[in-house]
Amino acid sequence: MTNPVNDIAILERVQRRIADEPEPPGPERLAHLIREEAVVISDIDVLDMMRRLREDTTGVGPLETLLLGGEVTDICVNGPDEIFIDRGRGLEPVADRPFATDADVRRLATRLALNCGRRLDDAHPYCDGHLTRPDGTLLRFHAVVAPTSQPGTCISLRVLRTATASLEDLQRRGAIDAERAALLCKCVRERKSVLVVGGTGSGKTTLLSALLAEVDPAERIIAIEDTRELTPAHPHVLNLSTRGANTDGAGEITVADLVRQALRMRPDRIVVGEIRGAEVIDLLAALNTGHDGGGGTLHANSIGEVPARLEALAALGGLDRAGLHAQLAAAVDLIVVVKRHPDGQRRVEQIGVLEGQPVNARVVWDATTGPAEGYEEL
């Protein structure tokens, strides 16, 4: 078959007939249905049509083979002609072209959106959600359809692997040296509140999970995330996950909602996997009212950016700059910056503190310059 339009029409007719079957058809029955709808078709084209039907109904369709290696962290589809993957060394183009037309990309995006409980069409041209694979791996999904996206339908997939590495594992990988690992371990056991900051894919969640593994086993940790990634080697971790609104706009559960619920669940430590909105107000309030030793991760490239970043997030919840600074220095004891380098290596780059009114962030250790004033007091 050489006409993509005819191929799509045949696929749609076969799919309608499959829906009418009392049981899912086996390979022989499926081949028979294809031959009836196509009328004239070669054995090779029958096999190709069966493959495409499978891709249209399972996994992430023609992108499935890209995930089989286990190293891929991101897949970016820019219309039918461009696909990029990230194996930890930055985005690389993919030579294969599994999509013949933009309609193929859009059909996959629409199915994945439905699997997430979302709607994707001309009236709602973009959506995001999370998908769970049979092996338990989570995928963060986002799609934008044309004409909002000029190249055609765009799909972004990020592989979310649960963070279970220990501080010893991170030392072996070169992510942190023994002295800094011992320091951070001591701070965690002394119930200091820690913010781990860095850019996308820098290893913030991995480091936070490793630090939580050092918490006293007798303590109860409540971890709040959009998607479960924090799975430290600790005997008492309770994971709470947010939920988006359904197609009717109801049922949303936010991070801020879960922080408030966590306060009623006898927590020893409250941790927010990623602070990205007004929940920072509830978290700081919790850290200032006896729930010390908690923390979370934050998108920022350096310690100096942290106060301004938190100001912007607090403003989303109606807390002004003065109110934020009144709580901040007492709530957060330590800031750790992690960075992803061009070679893919992720390392701890800075350790700092917040001090003064208004609050200023100060570096007390840097990977390049070494310890600074105040390092010995940590």
Note whether 210 and 260 are same-domain residues: yes
Note whether 148 and 192 are same-domain residues: no
Which residues, at least 6 apart from 303, have a Cβ–Cβ distance to it below 8 Å? 197, 335, 337, 350, 352, 361, 362, 363
Residue type, 163: A
Q: Is residue 135 part of a domain?
A: yes
Q: Is residue 189 part of a domain?
A: yes
Contact 197, 204 (CB under 8 A): yes
pLDDT of residue 36 exceeding 70, the answer is: yes
Note whether 189 and 132 are same-domain residues: no
Helices (H), the chain: 4-20, 27-38, 43-57, 102-115, 167-173, 178-189, 204-212, 255-262, 279-287, 306-316, 321-331
Q: What local confidence, expressed as pLDDT, does residue 5 receive?
A: 52
Which whole-number Å values give the CA distances from 207 to 179, 203, 241, 273, in the listed order? 15, 6, 20, 11
| Dihedrals phi, psi of 45, to nearest 5 degrees | -70, -30
| Dihedrals phi, psi of 129, to nearest 5 degrees | 180, -170
| Dihedrals phi, psi of 156, to nearest 5 degrees | -125, 125
Note whether 250 and 322 are same-domain residues: yes
- Collapsing DSSP states into helix, strand and coil, what is residue 295? strand
Q: How confident is the model at residue 96 (pLDDT cuts 50, 70, 90)?
A: confident
Note whether 148 and 266 are same-domain residues: no
Q: The tokens 């919840």 sit on which residue? A: 317
- Collapsing DSSP states into helix, strand and coil, what is residue 159? strand
Q: How confident is the model at residue 4 (pLDDT cuts 50, 70, 90)?
A: low
Note whether 80 and 17 are same-domain residues: no
**Total domains, the chain:** 3
Q: Is residue 378 part of a domain?
A: no
Q: Is residue 376 part of a domain?
A: no
Which residues, at least 6 apart from 190, have a Cβ–Cβ distance to it below 8 Å? none
Read off the CATH number of the domain in which 284 is found.
3.40.50.300
pLDDT in tens, 119-153: 899 988 999 888 887 777 788 899 999 889 988 99
Q: The tokens 């901040």 sit on which residue? A: 328
Note whether 68 and 51 are same-domain residues: no
pLDDT in tens, 46-82: 887 777 776 666 678 889 888 876 688 899 999 999 9
Q: The tokens 């190293």 sit on which residue? A: 71
Contact 68, 59 (CB under 8 A): no
| Dihedrals phi, psi of 248, to nearest 5 degrees | -90, 0
Q: Is residue 315 part of a domain?
A: yes
Note whether 315 and 206 are same-domain residues: yes
Q: Is residue 31 part of a domain?
A: yes
pLDDT in tens, 294-318: 999 999 989 999 999 999 999 998 9
Q: Is residue 22 part of a domain?
A: yes
Note whether 86 and 53 are same-domain residues: no
Global pTM reads 0.76
- End residue of a domain, out of 117, 143, 160: 160
Q: How confident is the model at residue 371 (pLDDT cuts 50, 70, 90)?
A: very high
Q: Is residue 351 part of a domain?
A: yes
- End residue of a domain, out of 57, 77, 98: 57
Mean pLDDT of 99-120: 88
Q: What local confidence, expressed as pLDDT, does residue 219 receive?
A: 96
pLDDT of residue 229 exceeding 50, the answer is: yes
pLDDT in tens, 167-219: 999 999 999 999 999 999 999 999 999 999 999 888 899 999 999 999 999 99
The structure tokens listed for 272 are 């927010």
Q: What local confidence, expressed as pLDDT, does residue 55 receive?
A: 64
Residue type, 254: T
Which residues span the domain enclosing 36? 1-57
Between CA 115 and CA 129 the distance in angstroms is 9
pLDDT in tens, 334-348: 999 999 888 878 999
The structure tokens listed for 173 are 């990988």
pLDDT of residue 1 exceeding 50, the answer is: no
Note whether 249 and 316 are same-domain residues: yes
Read off the CATH number of the domain in which 138 is found.
3.30.450.370
- End residue of a domain, out of 160, 188, 210: 160
Sign of CA pseudo-dihedral 165, 350, 273, 214: positive
Which residues, at least 6 apart from 216, have a Cβ–Cβ distance to it below 8 Å? 189
Residue 85 pairs with which residues in a beta bridge? 75, 92
149 DSSP assignment: S
246 DSSP assignment: -
Note whether 88 and 5 are same-domain residues: no
Which whole-number Å values give the CA distances from 83 to 92, 226, 309, in the listed order? 8, 26, 33
Q: The tokens 């619920």 sit on which residue? A: 261
Which residues, at least 6 apart from 150, have a Cβ–Cβ distance to it below 8 Å? none
Give the distance from CA 359 to its chain's centroid: 30
Q: What local confidence, expressed as pLDDT, does residue 341 receive?
A: 87
pLDDT in tens, 345-365: 899 999 999 998 889 899 999
Nearest residue to 34 (alpha-carbon basis) of 12, 56, 57: 12
Note whether 224 and 330 are same-domain residues: yes
